Amino acid sequence: MKGTRLILMGPPGGGKGTQAKVLQDKYGIVQLSTGDMLRAAVGAGTPVGKEAKAIMEAGKLVSDDIIIRMIADRIDEPDCANGFILDGFPRTVPQAEALDGLLVKKGMTLTCVIEVRVPDSMLVERITGRFSCAKCGAGYHDKFQRPKTEGKCDSCGGVEFTRRKDDNAETVVARLEAYHAQTAPLLPFYEKKGLLRVIDGSAPIDEVTRQLEKATAA
Ligand code: AP5
C-alpha cells in the first residue's frame, strides 16, 4: 500500500470518505478530500469558503479553478510523498485533465482508480443518517456505524456531534444529478487508461475495505 496513489470515485454517500479514513489509519496514506478542504474553508470564512458555501448547500459543484488550485497546493505538501487517496476529486473532465498534468510535472503516476458502486436507492438513507464528531471529525451513521459507547466518539472521546448542512433529502437529489451528469463520465476516461477497478460499495463497511485492498493490490 505504501506509495499508493489512489482515486476513490462514487456517488454522494457511497462510502468514499469512510474507506479513505480506514486506509489512512491502517497504512498511513494521506486522505485528500476536496469536500473536507472546502468545509474547512467555509468554517474559516476564507474567500474560497465564502464563494463555495451557497454552491455546496445547493448540491452543485464548485468551480474547477478553485478546486484545481486547492489540490495543486495540497499535493505539494511533504505528507503526499508517500502516496495519497483522492476522495471526491477529480469530479469533472477538466479536473481529471488538470490532475494528469500535475502528476506528469511531478513524475508521478496513479496506481488505480476505484469506483465504489452503490445503487442510488441506498444513498438517501446513508446520507441522512450520517453524523460526525465535532472535535475530531470521525464519521458515524445512525444505523450502520454507531459509536461503541452511545454519545461518545470512539476516536477522541468527544461528546458533541454534527451533521452536514447538505445532508438532507432535497440536496441529495441535486448532488446525485451532479454526480451522474458531471462525474460519472470520468469512469470511461479512466477505463480507457486501464486504471479503473469497480467494487461493490453496497456491502458492509468491512467487506468494502477488503474488496478495496484486493483491487488496489491487483
Ligand atoms: P463531498 O464532501 O466530496 O461529498 P460527496 O461526494 O457528496 O460525498 P459524501 O462525503 O457525501 O459521501 P462519501 O462517499 O464520502 O460517503 P461516507 O463515507 O461519508 O462534497 C461536498 C460538496 O463539496 C459537493 O457537493 C460540492 O459542492 C463540493 N465539492 C467537493 N469536491 C468537489 C470537486 N472536486 N469539484 C467540485 N465541487 C466539489 O458515507 C456516508 C454514510 O454512510 C456515513 O454515515 C457512513 O457511516 C455510512 N457508510 C459508509 N459506507 C457504508 C457501508 N458500506 N454500509 C453502510 N453504511 C456505510
Could you tell me if the CB of 56 is within 6 A of ligand 1? yes
Which position has the grid cell 463497511?
205
Residues 20-36 as b or e (16 or more Cβ within 10 Å = b) = bbbbbeebebbbbbbbe
Summarised one tens digit per residue, pLDDT across range 172-193 is 999 999 999 999 999 999 999 9
C-alpha span between 88 and 33 (Å, rounded): 6
In the prediction, which pLDDT does 212 show? Answer: 97
CA atoms within 13 A on the CB side of 115: 17
Does residue 175 have an active-site annotation? yes
Could you tell me if the CB of 74 is within 6 A of ligand 1? no
In the prediction, which pLDDT does 205 show? Answer: 96
The DSSP symbol for 182 reads I
In the prediction, which pLDDT does 3 show? Answer: 84
Q: What is the mean pLDDT of the chain?
A: 95
Q: Which of 141, 164, 170 to mutate to test the pocket of ligand 1 (most atoms within 8 A of CB)?
A: 141
pLDDT(72) > 90:
yes
pLDDT(82) > 90:
no
Q: Which helix (H) or strand (E) holds 87?
A: strand 84-87
Q: Distance, CA 18 to ligand 1 centroid (Å)?
A: 9
Atom of ligand 1 nearest to the CA of 17: 15
Could you tell me if the CB of 61 is within 6 A of ligand 1? yes
pLDDT(2) > 80:
no
pLDDT(67) > 80:
yes
For 200-209, which contacts have Cβ atoms below 8 Å and span 24 or more sequence positions? Answer: 200/117, 201/10, 201/14, 201/15, 201/116, 201/117, 201/118, 202/117, 202/118, 202/119, 202/122, 204/144, 205/15, 205/18, 205/19, 205/22, 205/144, 205/145, 208/15, 208/19, 208/116, 209/19, 209/22, 209/23
